[in-house]
Amino acid sequence: RAVGSESVLSEQQLSLVKEARELRHQASTLSSQFPQLVFDYTDPEPNFDKRRVLGPVAKLFRVKDLKYAVALEVIAANKLQNIVVDTEVTAKILLERGQIRRRVTMLPLTQIRGNPIPDGIIKKVESLVGSVNAVTALSLIEYDDMLKPVMEYVFGNVLICPDMETAKRVAFYPGIEKKTVTLEGDVFDPQGTLSGGSRGTASDSLLSRIFKWRDVNAAAQGLKRCYSWRANVKAA
């Protein structure tokens, strides 16, 4: 084994260690901002399969374009904190014996049902304002197919529009009458309620910061695996 290659490998390892440490610090700082997204529980039964708990909704999807982050955050609201599990049995035993220290809402995949906007109404919307001026919230996120019921429940019945005029027109148009949200987070509800006001920019939104936290965590884990591999190579 060449001495030169050992030196290069050692330098690379030191660089990886430093970068991983910085990423872990970033991840820790970001994690402290989102305590509601950390779901701690005690195994409710022996040999409990942790894959039965998928985690908070906020961790289970990605936004295709962050310019929609504010609107999607307004639509999802507190449902971002809801905990997705595989079945109602899992939800029941976790609530009874999981020693959960805060109030949580469980979403069992086997029971949850959404209310997506029918194709007929979507066609009416497109005829009214054009396909680019009103899009379904559901079409703006990416998620695993198995999570479709949850995402339909959280995002399925709302349209996102670029401005207040379009959002108001769509929301109250006869035969459409669906809740709309603007890119800035203004809400128009055909039931009669309106809400708005400053919510900050997309880059400052909760979802944007959550996605940054996820990316930093993933990068830190990747560096950890890379360091372990290089350490094994050096030891060989």
Q: What is the residue-averaged pLDDT of the chain? A: 83
Query: What does pTM read for this prediction?
Result: 0.75
Residue 198 pLDDT greater than 80, yes or no? no
| pLDDT on residue 219 | 65
Residue 5 pLDDT greater than 80, yes or no? no
Residue 110 pLDDT greater than 70, yes or no? yes
| pLDDT on residue 3 | 46
**Which string of DSSP letters, residue by residue, matches 174-205?**
TTT--EEEETT--EE-TTS-EE------GGGS
Can you tell me the mean pLDDT for 106-128? Answer: 96
Query: By percentage, how much of the chain surpasses pLDDT 70?
Result: 68
| CA distance readout (Å), 203 to 2, 67, 85, 212 | 48, 8, 30, 10
Can you tell me the mean pLDDT for 88-114? Answer: 95
Q: Per-residue pLDDT tens for 65-88?
A: 889 999 999 999 999 999 999 999
Q: Per-residue pLDDT tens for 127-178?
A: 999 999 999 999 999 999 999 999 999 999 999 999 999 999 999 999 999 9
Angle, to 10 degrees, between the axis of helix 206-235 and the axis of helix 69-76?
A: 100
| CA distance readout (Å), 141 to 67, 99, 128, 179 | 12, 33, 24, 18
Domain covering 33-204 assigned CATH 3.30.70.1620 in the classification: yes
Can you tell me the mean pLDDT for 35-44? Answer: 86
Tokens of 216: 């930093």
Residue 221 pLDDT greater than 50, yes or no? yes
pLDDT band at residue 218, thresholds of 50, 70 and 90? low
- Domains of the chain by residue range: 1-32+209-236, 33-204
